[in-house]
């Protein structure tokens, strides 16, 4: 959500030259992060409405409905659909078996007809008024209709199914020229040819944009400017290898091996990925040499969102407005008695740092100088201290119970001030009993890695490295 103004800026700047030859597509799971959303007084609904608004403004051609988009009920999706939001799905039907949404759309790029259709994966929750038809049946039917009406069209499928199902689809339906997936368990997938279907996806949550440039040939069969792409990839690999050698040398020389660990790890990962892409390219090249026809070609790039990318101003303003609405909503929620209902579960057996401090002065002094102690005031400074998307990791919680994907409880709004920081008990566990009888009830001394990772997720801290980070926050002995 926070990266959206940069993402929109990037989309606009990539395609400013000629929008008539551009398609903006999304394979779904746009609106929500969990399977079920309470429609009353909920910041997730406000957030989803803002996302719809932003996507409408930028002019998406088609957005597939993913299972998570259904989390607030089918009528929530239908409402935006009836206002013109470009939702498509070939396999969501009503109880009578009739499709509820546009099953496919057509666009003309140059003199090529492009058809875009979509399949929705089965949600984890059952919905009363809708059926999700199995893709085997719905795709067979949809493709027959498309082929009847649009000869020689370029067919794109947007899919929220998992990657292995997408591979099956590619094998079974060679009429699909391009399949864009949205498997949450996979990151970026460089285009790979399966039969005559090009399968690809970009990582979830908008960290990357996938840019695929297609040069249409005479027939709907893939060729590829593989020679060029292979040369590019090999150049990149060369430069990564050079950097790795240099860093390894330096870290040996300085005897300061930790300093570069993060960068080295990142580069090793990049190297692995490049080697994989080079393999794919080489295979393609051999294949092309065999067939050698004048076909459709493509180039692609995954473009990471850079921190220094400018914001799209209108989008940034919408997010400021959203944050204001969320604050007002949660101010009200905080006043409602029932929302604090879960507070006691959330803070169970925790006493707050001021109690620990009475016996562990040295450690408390040290902790106060770390950023963990000011994690809540950090949110305050950003005017986000009433935002449920931010609060859990910036409070004293039991990380073992935190599922960062599940958007949290309104109970966080009423947190007592002694627990408004990443306090002692975030790392050493709830300490009520220990504080009364320290010798009988001992606490764990050394927090394990998984505990840190509950908050230090790749999304919020992409350079987290346990050993060096642990030593920088480890409390001293007496
Ligand atoms: C009444 C005094 C008192 C309070 C209050 C107290 N502790 Fe302790 N704590 C002790 C004593 C005494 C020990 C040493 C116990 C032992 O070695 O058996 C100890 C040990 C520890 C240890 C080290 C465990 C180990 O295995 O070496 C940690 C960590 C700890 N306390 C954390 C906390 C936290 C967090 C709080 C607040 C929730 C807290 N303590 C509150 C007295 C206290
Ligand atoms: C409850 C969530 C949470 C847990 C658990 C947690 N952190 Fe953090 N950590 C944060 C937040 C939030 C910040 C940034 C706070 C800020 O800048 O306002 C942070 C900051 C840090 C920093 C920068 C500190 C500084 O003073 O420069 C380090 C290092 C760090 N954490 C290491 C760890 C390690 C190691 C663990 C596990 C032992 C851990 N954290 C567990 C949430 C957490
Ligand atoms: C899953 C846990 C998690 C959530 C949710 C989370 N944060 Fe953080 N946040 C962290 C961690 C961990 C750090 C420390 C990262 C580091 O040291 O680089 C951090 C650091 C920060 C910082 C200080 C470092 C910086 O980048 O300037 C700010 C500000 C911040 N978070 C704001 C937010 C806001 C606003 C939200 C809600 C939109 C949020 N956080 C949600 C875990 C989280
Ligand atoms: C981000 C995680 C984190 C937080 C927050 C944290 N600690 Fe620690 N604490 C550690 C680590 C790591 C060690 C070192 C364990 C080791 O080296 O064995 C440690 C060690 C300790 C020890 C044992 C010291 C000794 O060697 O005798 C005590 C007592 C302790 N912490 C108390 C506290 C208190 C009190 C607070 C809050 C004021 C607190 N800790 C906050 C991570 C944390």
Q: Comparing C-alpha atoms, which of 184, 190, 387, 200 is closest to residue 273? A: 190
Q: Answer yes or no: is the C-beta of 375 below 6 A from any ligand 2 atom.
A: yes
Environment class of 97 (CB within 10 Å of its CB; exposed 0-12, middle 13-18, buried 19+): exposed
- CATH number of the structural domain spanning residue 214: 3.60.21.10
- 257-279: string of b/e by CB count within 10 Å (b at 16+)? eeebeeebeebeeebebbeebbe
**457 touches ligand 2 (CB under 6 Å):** no
Nearest CA to ligand 2 atom 9: 372
What is the per-residue pLDDT for 293? Answer: 45
Q: Is the residue at 277 inside a domain? A: yes
The reply to whether 199 and 331 lie within a common domain is yes
Least confident of 210-219, 376-385, 393-402, 443-452: 210-219
| Residue 300 in this model has a pLDDT that exceeds 80 | no
Q: Is residue 375 part of a domain?
A: yes
- Which residue, 189, 181, 131, is CA-closest to 161? 181
In the block, residue with structure tokens 């346990």: 466
Question: Same domain, yes or no, for 327 and 239?
Answer: no
Ligand 4 centroid–CA 391 distance in Å is 23
From the CA of 370, how far away is ligand 4's center (Å)?
12
Residue 374 Cβ inside 6 Å of ligand 2? The answer reads: yes
Range of the domain at 371: 340-473
Residue 315 lies in a domain: yes
| Structure token digits, residue 220 | 């709907």
Task: Compute the distance from residue 416 Cα to the ligand 2 centre, in Å.
Answer: 20
* pLDDT tier for residue 235 given thresholds of 50, 70 and 90: confident
Please report which confidence band the pLDDT of residue 400 belongs to, taking 50, 70 and 90 as the band edges.
confident
Which residue's C-alpha comes closest to atom 27 of ligand 3? 378
pLDDT band at 337 (very low <50, low <70, confident <90, very high): low
> What CA–CA distance (Å, rounded) separates 273 from 268?
9
CA of 330 to the centre of ligand 3 (A): 20
Among residues 255, 270, 291, the one where a domain terminates is 291
Task: Kindly state if the Cβ of 371 falls inside 6 Å of ligand 2.
Answer: yes
147-152 contacts at long range (C-beta below 8 A, 24 or more positions apart)? 147/175, 150/106, 150/113, 150/115, 152/113, 152/219, 152/220
pLDDT digit string, tens, across residues 8-43 = 888 888 765 667 788 999 999 999 988 888 777 688
Strands (E), 249-321: 295-304
Residue 157 near residue 119 (C-beta atoms within 8 A): yes
| Same-domain check for residues 139 and 188 | yes
Is residue 478, in this structure, part of any structural domain at all? no
* CA-nearest residue, atom 16 of ligand 4: 446
Is the CB of residue 390 below 6 angstroms from any atom belonging to ligand 2? no
* Residue-level pLDDT at 326: 92
CATH number reported for the structural domain that contains residue 446 in this entry: 1.10.1130.10
Q: Is the same domain home to 32 and 45? A: yes
For residues 71 and 89, membership in a common domain is answered with: yes
Question: Is 287 in the same domain as 297?
Answer: no
Residue 209 lies inside a defined structural domain of this protein: yes
Q: Which ligand is nearest to the CA of 357?
A: 4
Residue 94 DSSP symbol: -
What is the torsional sign of CA 329, 335, 338, 340? positive
Question: Based on the domain organization, do 242 and 327 belong to the same domain?
Answer: no
Question: Is there a single domain that holds both residue 181 and residue 40?
Answer: yes
Our mutation pick for probing the ligand 2 site, out of 353, 369, 396, 456, counting the most ligand atoms within 8 A of Cβ, is: 456
CA 62 – ligand 1 centroid, Å: 58
3-state secondary structure of 123: coil
Pair (158, 301) in one structural domain? yes
Mean pLDDT of 52-60: 92
Out of 310, 335, 360, pick the residue that ends a domain: 335
Task: Looking at the structure, tell me whether residues 369 and 461 fall in a common domain.
Answer: yes
Q: How far is the CA of 461 from the centre of ligand 3 (A)?
A: 8
Q: The pTM is what?
A: 0.76
Instruction: Read off the pLDDT of residues 142-185 as tens digits, 9 standing for 90 and up.
Output: 999 998 988 889 999 999 999 999 999 999 999 999 999 999 88
Q: How many domains are contained in the chain?
A: 3
Which atom of ligand 2 lies at the shortest distance from residue 374's CA?
18
Nearest bound ligand to the CA of residue 430: 1
**384 pocket-lining for ligand 2 (C-beta < 6 Å):** no
Q: How far apart are the CA of 409 and the centre of ligand 3, in A?
A: 18
Quick one: what percent of the chain has pLDDT higher than 90?
A: 55
Q: Which residues pair with 201 in a beta bridge?
A: 189
Is 160 within a domain?
yes
Q: State the distance from the centre of ligand 3 to the C-alpha of 62, rounded, in angstroms.
A: 32
pLDDT on residue 406: 58
Residue 152 Cα to ligand 3 midpoint, Å, equals 50
Pair (115, 197) in one structural domain:
yes
Instruction: Give the Å distance between the CA of 222 and the centre of ligand 2.
Output: 48
In this structure, the answer to whether residues 210 and 246 fall within a common structural domain is no
What's the pLDDT at 334?
78
Pocket of ligand 1 (CB under 6 A): 351, 355-356, 358-360, 424-425, 428, 431, 434-435, 438-439, 442-443, 445
The radius of gyration computed from the CA coordinates of the chain, to the nearest angstrom, equals: 26
For 341-385, the pLDDT digits (tens) are 577 788 889 999 999 999 999 999 999 999 999 999 999 998 899
Out of 400, 453, 473, 474, mutate this one to test ligand 2's pocket (max ligand atoms within 8 Å of CB): namely 473
Q: How far is the CA of 418 from the centre of ligand 1 (A)?
A: 18
């Amino acid at each position: 959500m926070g990266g959206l103004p940069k993402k929109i800026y990037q989309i606009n700047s990539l395609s400013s030259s000629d929008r008539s030859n551009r398609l903006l597509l999304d394979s779904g799971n746009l609106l929500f992060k969990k399977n079920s959303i309470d429609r009353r007084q909920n910041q997730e609904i406000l957030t989803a409405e803002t996302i719809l608004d932003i996507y409408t403004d930028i002019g998406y051609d088609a957005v597939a409905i993913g299972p998570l988009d259904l989390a607030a009920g089918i009528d929530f999706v239908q409402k935006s659909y009836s206002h013109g939001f470009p939702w498509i799905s070939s396999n969501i039907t009503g109880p009578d078996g009739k499709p509820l949404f546009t099953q496919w759309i057509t666009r003309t790029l140059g003199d090529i007809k492009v058809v875009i259709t979509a399949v929705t994966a089965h949600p984890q929750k059952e919905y009363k008024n809708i059926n999700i038809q199995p893709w085997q049946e719905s795709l067979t039917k949809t493709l027959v209709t498309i082929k009847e009406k649009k000869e020689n069209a370029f067919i794109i499928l947007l899919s929220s199914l998992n990657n292995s199902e997408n591979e099956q689809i590619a094998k079974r339906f060679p009429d699909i020229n391009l399949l864009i997936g949205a498997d949450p368990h996979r990151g970026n997938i460089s285009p790979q040819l399966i039969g005559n279907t090009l399968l690809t996806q970009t990582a979830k949550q908008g960290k990357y944009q996938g840019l695929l440039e297609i040069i249409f040939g005479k027939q709907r069969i893939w060729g590829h400017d593989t020679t060029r792409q292979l040369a590019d990839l090999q150049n990149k690999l060369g430069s990564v290898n050079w950097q790795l050698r240099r860093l390894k040398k330096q870290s040996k020389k300085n005897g300061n091996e930790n300093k570069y660990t993060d960068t080295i790890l990142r580069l090793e990962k990049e190297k692995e990925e490049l080697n994989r892409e080079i393999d794919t390219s080489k295979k393609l090249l051999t294949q092309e040499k065999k067939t050698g026809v004048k076909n459709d070609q493509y180039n692609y790039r995954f473009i990471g969102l850079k921190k220094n990318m400018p914001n799209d101003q209108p989008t940034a303003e919408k997010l400021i407005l959203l944050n204001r609405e969320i604050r007002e909503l949660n101010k009200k929620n905080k006043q409602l008695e029932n929302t604090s209902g879960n507070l006691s579960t959330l803070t169970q057996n925790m006493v707050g740092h001021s109690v620990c401090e009475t016996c562990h002065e040295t450690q408390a002094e040290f902790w106060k100088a770390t950023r963990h102690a000011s994690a809540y005031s950090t949110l305050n400074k950003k005017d986000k201290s009433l935002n449920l998307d931010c609060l859990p990791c910036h409070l004293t919680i039991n990380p073992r119970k935190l599922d960062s994907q599940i958007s949290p409880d309104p109970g966080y709004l009423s947190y007592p001030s002694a627990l408004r920081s990443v306090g002692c008990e975030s790392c050493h566990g709830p300490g009520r009993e220990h504080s009364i009888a320290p010798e009988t009830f001992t606490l764990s001394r050394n927090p394990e890695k998984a505990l840190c990772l509950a908050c230090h997720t790749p999304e919020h801290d992409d350079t987290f490295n346990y050993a060096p980070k642990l030593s920088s926050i480890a409390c001293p002995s007496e």
